[in-house]
Amino acid sequence: MRRIVAIVAISSALALAGCAATPAGVDGNLVNDWKALPAPTAVLPVEGDCYSSPAADMLENAPVACTTDHEVEVVHVGTFDSADAAKPNAPAAGTTAMKGAYGVCLGAAKKYLGADFHDGLMELNVVTPDANGWAGGQRWFRCDVNQVEALSDLELTGSTVSFKGILAKAGPLKLACVSWVDKGSYIDDWTLTACSKSHTGEYVGTYTAPNVAYTVKKFNALGDNGCWPLVARYLGISASSGSNTVGWAYSYTDEDAWANGDHYIRCYAAAFTHDKKFVGSVKGIGTRTAKG
């Protein structure tokens, strides 16, 4: 107790001495001339921003020029409505709020890219504020598009060009002819290939599937039932007809995107020629034998 009292006494003595020794022209008030610090402002995403990663932390993941290496580009920024905004945490994948946000993003991406993102080597993701941002009052959702290395694994890959309008016409990301590796029970390593060169499949469009459980068995049935009619139409034959040299294949999105409402299955005409290859497009060939 004695030591604590001594410290208090010394502090008081120093304070009194300081008051007595105020220089001329100084009022002795150390804070009345300080300017107030500005109120902190949130860093918010903006349509057209590019980021080097898909992270939601807007302080660490600052925008970069779209002409430099980046992984994602913002095609739209929306705001959650009052009911969702009042909740203590950002909406999770599969919730009504995220499904609504995904629907908004889907339309915005189509307008921004010039076509449905499923028509390209691309994916769409809804990003919400991280825990700190949400706790600080941020209620935005970000619609990010990104280029993927292959449709078989949806792994992001960098780009040095803007994605704005990139799917409006044929180009490096527009799906057309593709090559893959047949693993027996599945196909892997999908890559874009010039149609004039030997390839294993050709993109024909997307099938909108019903909302079913995310399982391989379910997707096998969906792909089989949904893709052949699209392939047949692409060939120029009825769905009840068959082809000796053209079959079908399909790819689908990841589980979170499916939960948010991305029920699109990409469909492809698949080569069943003698060497399991096509040369040239099979569009409109009817029942004729595909070139292999």
Rounded Cα gap, residues 92 and 84, in angstroms: 11
The encoded tokens of residue 136 equal 């600080």
The encoded tokens of residue 69 equal 């290496």
Rounded Cα gap, residues 40 and 229, in angstroms: 56
The SS3 assignment for 74 reads strand
The confidence score (pLDDT) of residue 25 equals 54
Least Cα distance to 164 among 94, 236, 111, 215 occurs for 111
Least Cα distance to 189 among 181, 177, 198, 197 occurs for 181
- Domain count for the chain, please give it: 2
In a domain, 30, yes or no: no
The SS3 assignment for 143 reads strand
Least Cα distance to 135 among 87, 76, 68, 67 occurs for 87
In a domain, 273, yes or no: yes
pTM of the model: 0.80
The confidence score (pLDDT) of residue 13 equals 27
In a domain, 56, yes or no: yes
Query: Last residue of some domain: 169, 194, 216?
Result: 169
Rounded Cα gap, residues 124 and 73, in angstroms: 10
The mean pLDDT values, 10 residues at a time, for the chain of 292 residues are 25 32 52 52 85 89 93 97 95 96 97 96 94 94 90 72 94 92 80 93 94 86 90 95 92 90 94 94 94 88
- Enter the DSSP assignment of 91: P
The SS3 assignment for 21 reads coil
In a domain, 2, yes or no: no
pLDDT (tens digit per residue) in 208-234? 999 889 888 888 888 888 999 999 999
In a domain, 70, yes or no: yes
* Cβ contact 212:277 at 8 Å: no
In a domain, 258, yes or no: yes
| Residue-range definition of the domain harbouring residue 198 | 175-292
**Do 190 and 248 belong to one domain?**
yes
The encoded tokens of residue 126 equal 């809804």
**Do 216 and 239 belong to one domain?**
yes
- The answer for residues whose C-beta is within 8 angstroms of residue 114's C-beta and 6 or more apart is 165, 166, 167, 168, 169
**Do 152 and 199 belong to one domain?**
no
Letter for the amino acid at 126?
V
Query: Last residue of some domain: 133, 148, 169?
Result: 169
The confidence score (pLDDT) of residue 242 equals 86
Query: Last residue of some domain: 151, 169, 187?
Result: 169
Rounded Cα gap, residues 65 and 43, in angstroms: 17
Rounded Cα gap, residues 192 and 120, in angstroms: 10
The encoded tokens of residue 285 equal 């060939």
Letter for the amino acid at 215?
T
The confidence score (pLDDT) of residue 124 equals 95
Rounded Cα gap, residues 148 and 152, in angstroms: 9
pLDDT (tens digit per residue) in 7-31? 222 222 223 234 344 455 545 554 5
The string of DSSP letters for 171-215 reads STTB--EEEEEE-SSSEEEEEE--TTS-BSEEEEEEEE-------
* Cβ contact 97:80 at 8 Å: yes
The SS3 assignment for 6 reads helix
